[in-house]
Amino acid sequence: MSTLYDIKLKISYRYEYPAAAGRSLLRIMPLNLPDQQLISGAVSCDPPGDFRRDSTDFFGNRTTELAHDRPLSRITFRFDGRVRRSADLVSFDLSRGLSAIRQETDAIRSIDPTSPHHFLGPSERVTPGAEISDFARDTVRSDMSTLAAVQAIAHALHRTMKFDPESTEVSTNPFDAFRKRRGVCQDFTHIMIAALRAVDIPAGYVSGFIRTIPPEGKERLEGADAMHAWVRAWCGADAGWVQIDPTNDMMAGNDHVIVAIGRDYADVSPVKGSMRAFGRQTTRHEVDMVSVSPAPAR
């Protein structure tokens, strides 16, 4: 069954002294995918930019480039839209043994945006490190299937780490977060990507939204009230890409709406850019993701 969501995102910045000018690159528009349909939606900015260009990046993420050439004391970016999500959770394991995953990856000749080759080596925010690599190798066994290894690492990470929004910043690297055993969804995701790559499983970063209203009798999902992050892992030619949320120790499903996909946070950052400004800056994120009703089957 699919689910309809009305989603509102508001990201606001205020500057102690007016910024002289600024450039911004946004990735806040949900993707159109086989299991996700953007029914309607718009990205807006207040005040409007002096220049705007909407495009897509290498991985197919929707981008909005904005330029402001006049003083700004505040700026607000918004997304308002409706999304139908119809994800099928993995019901059976088509992946081969973990010992075969490198051979399967090497057999792929394509280097298009979906190729696992882009998601196996070091990336800007995720590089090899002994502590996380040892954690991954201690968690999996060579006789596991690749999907079972992915799930085992997610379970182990969820047990090892504590969700703590005060413990890290957006610039924290995964190795510092892992040493603290604390972090937020970005940290859980980066650590798991590093762990999966350490055992030759191609892995990437997914940014998006997560439903904040828990089912009856269930605990509220951690990482809510903000954009969320989770992992995509390539489990071989037959199983393909799967998505798993290590922060909540669950496969990503209808509660997860996908905004952008990349190798790590640097590829999917909701707002990237620069402002010529002095003094302090305050930032506020507001997310409202409401289930409208079960959507008719298509």
Q: What is the CATH number of the domain that holds 130?
A: 3.10.620.30
Domain coverage including residue 37: 2-85+269-295
User: Which domain CATH number covers 22?
Assistant: 2.60.40.2250
Q: 121 and 233 share a domain? A: yes
Which pLDDT tens digit goes with each residue over 174-217? 999 999 999 999 999 999 999 999 999 999 999 999 987 666 77
* pLDDT, the chain, mean: 93
Q: 274 and 290 share a domain? A: yes
Which pLDDT tens digit goes with each residue over 267-291? 999 999 988 777 888 999 999 998 8
Statement: residue 88 has pLDDT above 90: no
What whole-number percentage of the chain has pLDDT above 90?
82
Residue 217 lies in a domain: yes
Q: How many CB atoms lie within 10 A of CB 236?
A: 24
Q: Is the dihedral of CA 260, 265, 266, 272 positive or negative?
A: positive
Q: 278 and 168 share a domain? A: no
Q: 117 and 239 share a domain? A: yes
Statement: residue 95 has pLDDT above 60: yes
Cα 221 from chain centroid? 16
Q: 68 and 142 share a domain? A: no
Which pLDDT tens digit goes with each residue over 98-146? 999 999 999 999 999 999 999 999 999 999 999 999 999 999 999 999 9
Please tell me the total count of domains within the chain: 2
* Confidence at residue 277, expressed as pLDDT on a 0 to 100 scale: 73
Q: 260 and 280 share a domain? A: no
Q: 35 and 119 share a domain? A: no
Q: 80 and 193 share a domain? A: no
Residue 186 lies in a domain: yes
Residue 91 lies in a domain: no
What whole-number percentage of the chain has pLDDT above 70?
95
Q: 212 and 170 share a domain? A: yes
Backbone angles phi, psi at 207, to 5 degrees: -110, 150
Q: 260 and 119 share a domain? A: yes
Which pLDDT tens digit goes with each residue over 57-86? 999 999 999 999 999 999 999 999 999 999
* Confidence at residue 294, expressed as pLDDT on a 0 to 100 scale: 58
Please give the average per-residue pLDDT across 1-30, as a whole number: 93
Instruction: Give the whole-angstrom CA distance, residue 153 versus residue 144.
Output: 12
Q: 151 and 37 share a domain? A: no
Q: 146 and 213 share a domain? A: yes
Please give the average per-residue pLDDT across 22-50, as a whole number: 97
